[in-house]
Structure 1
Amino acid sequence: MKHRRSIDLVASHEAVAADRETLATLPQWYVLHARCDACRHETRIDRRALAYRCGKDLSLAMIGLRLTCRSCGNRRGNHLLLGTLPRD
């Protein structure tokens, strides 16, 4: 699946275990996106600001549970998407 900015949202060559992976162990070429299940609003998450605010040892599974949509305020069913930046 591709994001509108041509960022791969699904890494086909590497599997990331969301329950074991943390912000500290996630490679730097991964980007985080959040999508609201209710209004389909999608935005990029600044992982450095998130690590500063919540701690770098927070697992990706816990991030997905804590997401709140800034557009409609929905807190249920929001998705955390992982993407990869193009690498040379």
Structure 2
Amino acid sequence: MKHRRGIDLIGRESRYDILYLGPLMDPAHVTFDDIPEWHALGGHCAKCERTGWVNRWEVSQKWGERTYLGTLASRLRCLGCANKDGNKWILGKLPR
């Protein structure tokens, strides 16, 4: 929400804070449909320890809502070091 003089009253950081919950347990048996709507989906790089959040709705639309996340783990690529080996899925909770 912005003030009429252009002052941001909420602040950009507080709107997009995602609470890290931890790694996704057993991604071989979890689909996009199994994850609640209020959870965010991201990736964790095994090489440089970078984490990044993905738009799970775009990914599920591209690969299908019933696709197992374990099959897509090999497609996770780190934007920092371009690593594709050993990257894992992580979960976060969206702000309410």
Letter in 2 for 1:43: G
Q: What residue is the counterpart of 2:19 in the other structure?
A: 7
**How far is 1:71 from its partner?**
1.7
Q: What residue is the counterpart of 2:58 in the other structure?
A: 49
In the alignment of these two chains, the number of paired residues is: 80
Task: Give CA deviations for 1:7-65 in whole Å, capped at 9, x if unaligned.
Answer: 04139xxx964222211232111111111111122110100110122121111222323
Q: Which runs of 5+ in 2 are unaligned?
A: 1-16
1:24 is paired with a residue whose SS is helix
The TM-score, its normalising length taken from structure 2, stands at 0.67
Letter in 2 for 1:23: F
Picking from 54, 79, 90, the partner of 1:70 is: 79
Q: What residue is the counterpart of 2:5 in the other structure?
A: none
Picking from 6, 16, 21, the partner of 2:30 is: 21
Cα RMSD after superposing both structures: 2.4
% same residue: 28
CA pair 70-47 structure 1, distance change in 2 beyond 3 A? same
Q: Is the 8 A contact 1:8 1:85 kept in 2?
A: no
Distance 2:49 2:34 in 1: 29
Matches within 5 A, 1:72-87: 72-85=81-94
Distance 2:83 2:20 in 1: 25
Going by fraction, where is helix more abundant, 1 or 2? 2
The TM-score, its normalising length taken from structure 1, stands at 0.72
